[in-house]
Amino acid sequence: MRTPGLAGLTVLLRLCVIVVVLLTSGSIGLVCYTAVESLDLSCLLRWDCPYASPNSTYTVQTKTQGDPWQDVPWCVWISSHSCDVSQIFSNFELYNMIRLGVHLTPTSTVWMEPRKFDYSDFTFSPPSVSVSLKEEQLLVKVQFPCTPNRRCSRERCCPISRLIDPWTTVTVYSELSPSEYQSRTVWTQEVMSHVEFSGLSLGHNYCVVANFSFPTFSMAASPKSAPQCVEVVSQSGETELMPVLCLGIALTLLLIFPLLTVFLRKPQPAATTPENQSKTPVHDLVSLVPLSLVPADPCDVHLELADDQMSIVSSSNLPSAEDLTSALGNAVSRVPLSHDPSSLAAYWDSGGIELELGLDSGISIPRLSH
C-alpha cells in the first residue's frame, strides 16, 4: 500500500522527465546551417534554419583571439538570414570566431556552434599587371584588388596589401614558345609589387601573368591575372632608324624649298596711278642736259628770230650742240620776250642784257666778260 507522499513524489518525477524530453526535442529540432563567404578579405555570414519559426529573429556575435564575444551592432535581433561582418575583423593573423544566436523568446536565445574565420575561407580576385621596357629590361608592376575592410573605409580603393603582406608570383613566358619562361616569387610589403626581368631574347613577344597568396598559406591564392604582352626591341635598333628618318626629312625639305623659293620670288605687278606720273619741270630738263666742260665763247652763239620763233646757231667748235639747242630752245620758248615791230628790236629778260637786231636779221649777244 502506497503512502500519499510517495505517490506525489512519483508524479513530480514523471513531470520533470516530460519537461526534459520536451526541451531536449525542441533544441534538437532547432538546427541552423551557417556558411562564410569571403572575397578579398571581406566576410559575409549566411545561415539557414529550416525548423525555426518564420517570425524568428537572430543576432550575430564575433570574437577575436583574447577578446570576449561582442554583438555586431547592425546584426542584432534581425529577421534576415545574412550579416556582413567585413568591418569587424582587422587582424587576420589572429583567430577570429563567429556565432549565430536564435531568439526563441524575448528572454531565451539559442546559440549555434561557433565557427572560425581564417585563410581556409579566403578567396581573392586576380590582380592586374602592367609591363614596360627600360634598357632591355622588362619591368612588371602588380596591382592588387581592393578590399572593403574598415581600415580603408574612407578610401575609394584599399588594396589588400594594406592589410596583409602577400606572396606575389610573376611569370614571364615567350609567346612563340610558352615552355621558355621565367618565374619569380617576392614577398610584397608595399602597396604595389615591382619585379624586373632581364636576359630576354630580342625581337620576341613576351607575356606576363601574376597571382598572389595569403602569407604562409599558399592554398589561399588568387587566380592568375590576364596576360599582358610586349615586344622586346633593342634600343640600338631604334637608334639605327634615326639616320634613315633624318635623311627622309632632309629630302623632303630639298623638294619643298625650290617651290617655296619660286613662290616667294614671283613678281608682283606694280600699281601705277596717274598721280605718280608727273611731268618733269623745264628747269630739270635743262639741268639734265650734259654740258661740255670746254668753256664756250658767247660770240659763237647766235639767236635768230623770225615770225616770233627763235633758233640757236652755234659754231662747229661746240660739242653736243644738238642736245644743247634742243634743251635751250625749249627753255627759251617759255621765257617772255618783248618784241617791238617798229624798232625791229627784241628784248629778252636775260639779267639786264639787251638784244639788238642786226643787219643780218639775227640777234647778236655782246661779249661778256668772264
Q: According to the model, what pLDDT value does residue 85 have?
A: 93
pLDDT digits (tens, 9 = 90+) for 207-256: 999 999 998 888 899 999 999 999 887 655 444 556 667 777 877 877 78
Strand 309-314, strand 337-340: pairing:
unpaired
- Distance, CA of 361 to CA of 301 (rounded, Å): 15
Check if the beta carbon of residue 208 is closer than 8 Å to that of residue 193. Answer: no
Task: Please list the alpha-helical segments (H only) found in the chain.
Answer: 4-29, 235-264, 282-288, 321-332
How close are the terminal C-alpha atoms of the chain, in Å?
A: 199
Superfamily of domain 28-121, CATH level 4: Immunoglobulins (2.60.40.10)
In 70-180, at which residue ranges do the beta strands (DSSP E only) sit?
Answer: 70-71, 82-84, 96-105, 108-111, 115-116, 122-123, 128-134, 137-143, 167-174
Least confident residue range of 147-151, 180-184, 307-311 = 307-311
Is the predicted pLDDT of residue 365 greater than 70, yes or no? no
pLDDT digits (tens, 9 = 90+) for 257-298: 777 777 777 665 554 444 444 444 444 444 444 444 445 454
List every span in the chain annotated with CATH 2.60.40.10. Answer: 28-121, 125-235
Task: Kindly report the length of the chain.
Answer: 370
How large is the average pLDDT for residues 176-186? Answer: 87
How large is the average pLDDT for residues 47-62? Answer: 93
Confidence of residue 167 (pLDDT cuts 50, 70, 90): very high
Half-sphere exposure of 222 (CA within 13 A, CB side): 28
In the chain, the percentage of residues whose pLDDT exceeds 70 is: 59
Query: What mean pLDDT is reported for the chain?
Result: 73
How large is the average pLDDT for residues 149-161? Answer: 74
How large is the average pLDDT for residues 8-19? Answer: 53
Best-predicted range by mean pLDDT (86-90, 101-105, 235-239): 101-105
List, in order, residues 6 or more apart from 295 with CB less than 8 Å away.
none
**Three-state DSSP class for residue 38:** strand
Q: Is the pTM of this model over 0.75?
A: no
Phi, psi of 62 (to 5 degrees): -125, 160
Is the predicted pLDDT of residue 43 greater than 90, yes or no? yes
Check if the beta carbon of residue 181 is closer than 8 Å to that of residue 190. Answer: no
Is the predicted pLDDT of residue 332 greater than 70, yes or no? no
CATH number of 125-235: 2.60.40.10
Q: According to the model, what pLDDT value does residue 347 have?
A: 46
Least confident residue range of 89-103, 145-159, 203-217, 293-307 = 293-307
In the chain, the amino acid numbered 149 is N
Confidence of residue 102 (pLDDT cuts 50, 70, 90): very high
Q: According to the model, what pLDDT value does residue 71 have?
A: 96
Is the predicted pLDDT of residue 324 greater than 70, yes or no? no
**Within a 10 A sphere around the Cβ of 315, how many other Cβ atoms?**
12
Is the predicted pLDDT of residue 53 greater than 50, yes or no? yes
Is the predicted pLDDT of residue 367 greater than 90, yes or no? no
